[in-house]
Amino acid sequence: DLKLEITSGSDAVVQGDAFLLRQAINNLFDNAIEFSPAGGSIEACLERQGEMICLRLRDHGGGVPDYARERVFERFYSLPRPTNGKKSTGLGLPFVREVAALHGGSISMDNHPQGGAIALLCLPGKA
């Protein structure tokens, strides 16, 4: 079981392809779930940063190794899952990056100082 905490600082509306955006966001949540320890939590925060709407997802897993931080966006690159050691197809995060770019946005991955990974998806907000 995992705990999901969601916060939103303001109304956040983006315009784009609903199917692609939903798939990209689902992929980010799937990754956060797969890399979270049992009984852990996932924090999701939606906030406006200037003209961008940003979704920040944090898991409380082991984080992303420094050597892999940019590579996770390469097609077919995958890290082993902590629960079973298996790897995915390595197509999810490259897809998220492509969807973000198609919508004039960006995706980044970093580690939280207190542990876990943070994915930050930023897309232009609707005026």
Contacts 24+ apart (CB under 8 A), 11-14: 12/46, 12/47, 12/48, 12/53, 12/125, 13/53, 13/125, 13/126, 14/53, 14/103, 14/123, 14/124, 14/125, 14/126
Number of domains in the chain: 1
Amino acid 126: pLDDT: 82
Amino acid 27: pLDDT: 96
Has residue 5 got a pLDDT over 90?
Answer: no
What pLDDT, in 10s, does the model give residues 57-76?
Answer: 999 999 999 899 889 999 99
- The range of the structural domain enclosing residue 19 comes to 3-124
Mean pLDDT of 43-58: 93
Amino acid 87: pLDDT: 83
Residue 84's CATH number: 3.30.565.10
